Amino acid sequence: TAQVETLEFQSEARQLLQLMIHSVYSNKDTFLRELVSNASDALDKLRLEAFQDKELDVSTDDLHVELETDAVARTLTVRDNGIGMSRDEVVSLIGTIAKSGTAEFLAKLKESKQSDELIGQFGVGFYSSFMVADKVTLVTRRAGAAEGVRWESAGEGTYTIEPVEDAPQGTSVTLHLKPEDREDKLLDYTDKTTLTTIVKRYSDFITWPIRLGEDTLNSMKALWARADATEEEYAEFYKHISHDWQAPLESFRLQAEGTFEYQALLFLPAKAPFDLFMRERKRGVQLYVKRVFIMDDCEALMPEYLRFVKGVVDAQDLSLNVSREILQQDRQIERIRRRLVKKVLQTVKALPEEKYRTFWGEFGRAIKEGLLDDADNREAILELCSFDSTHSADEQTSLASYVERMKEGQEHIYFLTGDSRQSVEHSPHLEAFQDKGFEVLVLTDPIDEMWVDQVPEFGGKKFQSIAKGQVDLDDEKDPEQQEEFSGLLEWLKSTLEEQVKDVRLSSRLTTSPACIVGDSYDMTPTLEKMYRAMGQ
């Protein structure tokens, strides 16, 4: 009919679909997890909206996910009676990828051989259908809307979209399965046993029934309320809430009973998301109230420097009507947040060596933001930090180990900041320190420039930049030398009057003839550069 429109996928979406069709991912069964995950989200959203909007004319009595197969036509349908989508939502949610940084991600993917891992970081969601289907039909009707929408695509550049009159509320996604191909490990996704196994493996904890014929395939238990869950169950739950495709590095639970009851299940990812340092990066903790999903990205529960922590907090005594604004000012929420932060920091501290190294490599830079933002936990954060140091060329050191190695009579923790380890090591400032056997921390993250200005000490030992002020190595000034060079010093001072404040004899240098030193309260050159780059 005339109402069928053919539209083009946005170019990033097209590229991602090409990847799916030509299948970069080895574990194709996961498409079902993605579709069930979307269906479950849609049911969560409908329940919440029905509660908050009494005018909304929908039934929420039998919210569920349903699988339907046709072995002859070779189709699999995943259906939910959740929130559904309007036409515009279908176009913007399914036809485009709104995630910032997608273009950069795709460029990286093209160069990389580890596409599995990168896809995992990105999360392909609905598009994973095209790993197993050569055509996908989606029919949906938004709760409260009179008319539905039918969307169809073979994933090759375009899709069609048209209105439908008699669509049931919610969404159904029908996969026209590719021909079976054992070599490619494509299973028969119209087979009941196959589907049951996959749902149990990936989606057992989904709190809505997932039905196939008469059977409910999942146990529906909220995972955070169970003390007996296995690592595998945690991992699958983590993938559902985080949209990550890899298992987490660490999972941990906490709960509080009494006046303000809550349960929390939190995760440290194994890999930083590609957009960890992008501006609109969201936080990862979801809020539930008495098992009812309330919101994603609950910023009141986790500070920004821990934005990579994923998980769920289920609180007993909040209203289902809570808003973000209310949460920001709620004292109980504030208390939960403080406890979660402590628990995260303790968990990181207790990680076994190897896991800690992975963690620090991925998230260390974010954690160090906490040195600026979270004064209450500063000491605990410092205890987690690792830094490059002149002590070892390839292993980082904790501050505690640095302090243990401090020389007799050494009072300060010495550091030098710079762009890279190499440039710092060639700095003339280091010479005397190395000569005399003092260890110096080598700080090369941009964030290091900022926190060293704000954090005075660790364990009672002051941080001291070796590029600033008079660093007291041992020296009494040799009066004879002073005398001998006074003419030269005067001349240098007057010649360089415009450029420098003072010219001094120094005991810092061993092989370089001269170096530039900042005043104690000056900005370091790198920080100056940063401010200039920011236009200040």
Are residues 16 and 29 in contact, defined by beta-carbon separation less than 8 angstroms?
no
Instruction: Select from 125, 157, 209, 518 the one that contacts Mg ion (CB under 5 A).
Output: 125
Residue 171 binding partner per list ligand ADP, Mg ion, none, with a CB distance cut-off of 5 to 8 Å that depends on partner kind: ligand ADP
101 is an annotated ligand-binding site residue: yes
> Which one-letter amino acid corresponds to residue 497?
E
Instruction: Select from 93, 256, 320, 515 the one that contacts ligand ADP (CB under 6 A).
Output: 93
DSSP category for residue 477? P
| H or E stretch at 134 | strand 133-141
274 is an annotated ligand-binding site residue: no
Are residues 305 and 344 in contact, defined by beta-carbon separation less than 8 angstroms?
no
Is residue 38 a contact residue for Mg ion (CB under 5 A)? yes
The span from the CA of 329 to the CA of 346, in Å, is: 26
CB of 34 vs Mg ion, minimal distance in Å: 5
Residue 93 binding partner per list ligand ADP, Mg ion, none, with a CB distance cut-off of 5 to 8 Å that depends on partner kind: ligand ADP
Is residue 42 a contact residue for ligand ADP (CB under 6 A)? yes
295 is an annotated ligand-binding site residue: no
**Closest to ligand ADP by CB, 81 or 251:** 81
DSSP category for residue 259? S
Residue 418 binding partner per list Mg ion, ligand ADP, none, with a CB distance cut-off of 5 to 8 Å that depends on partner kind: none
Are residues 313 and 327 in contact, defined by beta-carbon separation less than 8 angstroms?
no
Decide: residue 61, CB within 10 A, 0-12 exposed, 13-18 middle, 19+ buried.
exposed
Q: Is 308 helix (H, G, I), strand (E, B) or coil?
A: coil
Nearest residue to 226 (alpha-carbon basis) of 206, 253, 199: 253
124 is an annotated ligand-binding site residue: yes
How many separate helices (H) and strands (E) can be counted in the chain?
A: 17, 20
417 is an annotated ligand-binding site residue: no
Residue 160: CB atoms within 10 A of its CB come to 13
Per DSSP, the residues of 167-224 read PPSEEEEEEEEPPP-GGGT---TT-HHHHHHHHHHHHTT-SS-EEETTEE-S----GG
38 is an annotated ligand-binding site residue: yes
Is residue 218 a contact residue for Mg ion (CB under 5 A)? no
80 is an annotated ligand-binding site residue: yes
Residue ranges in 230-249 that form contacts with ligand ADP under rule CB under 6 A:
243
Beta-sheet strand order (sheet of 262-268) = 250-256, 262-268, 310-315, 284-289, 292-295
By CB under 6 A, which span of 75-83, 224-232, 425-433, 480-488 interacts with ligand ADP?
75-83
CB of 3 vs ligand ADP, minimal distance in Å: 22
186, two tokens: 């494509």
Is residue 34 a contact residue for ligand ADP (CB under 6 A)? yes
**Closest to Mg ion by CB, 38 or 242:** 38
Are residues 223 and 236 in contact, defined by beta-carbon separation less than 8 angstroms?
no
Is residue 485 a contact residue for ligand ADP (CB under 6 A)? no
**Closest to ligand ADP by CB, 207 or 506:** 207
The span from the CA of 346 to the CA of 340, in Å, is: 10
321 is an annotated ligand-binding site residue: no
53 is an annotated ligand-binding site residue: no
By CB under 6 A, which span of 32-40, 212-220, 278-286, 512-520 interacts with ligand ADP?
32-40
121 is an annotated ligand-binding site residue: yes
Are residues 164 and 56 in contact, defined by beta-carbon separation less than 8 angstroms?
no
The span from the CA of 468 to the CA of 524, in Å, is: 8
CB of 137 vs Mg ion, minimal distance in Å: 18
85 is an annotated ligand-binding site residue: yes
Encoded one letter per residue, x for contact with ligand ADP by CB under 6 A and - for no contact, window 119-148 reads ----x-xx----------------------
By CB under 6 A, which span of 49-57, 78-86, 267-275, 366-374 interacts with ligand ADP?
78-86
CB of 434 vs ligand ADP, minimal distance in Å: 51
Nearest residue to 220 (alpha-carbon basis) of 237, 241, 232, 245: 237
The span from the CA of 141 to the CA of 112, in Å, is: 39
How would you classify residue 351: left for phi > 0, otherwise alpha for psi between -120 and 50, otherwise beta? Answer: beta
Instruction: Select from 81, 171, 389, 464 the one that contacts ligand ADP (CB under 6 A).
Output: 171
Residue ranges in 145-184 that form contacts with Mg ion under rule CB under 5 A:
none
User: How many Å from the N-terminal Cα to the C-terminal Cα in the chain?
Assistant: 60
363 is an annotated ligand-binding site residue: no
By CB under 6 A, which span of 83-91, 249-257, 430-438, 515-523 interacts with ligand ADP?
83-91
Size of the site for ligand ADP (CB under 6 A): 16
CB of 171 vs ligand ADP, minimal distance in Å: 4
**Closest to Mg ion by CB, 105 or 438:** 105
Which residues are part of a known binding site?
Answer: 34, 38, 80, 85, 99-101, 121-126, 171, 324
Q: What residues line the site for ligand ADP (CB under 6 A)?
A: 34, 38-39, 42, 80, 82-85, 93-94, 123, 125-126, 171, 243
Q: What residues line the site for Mg ion (CB under 5 A)?
A: 38, 125
Which residues are part of a known binding site for ATP?
Answer: 34, 38, 80, 85, 99-101, 121-126, 171, 324
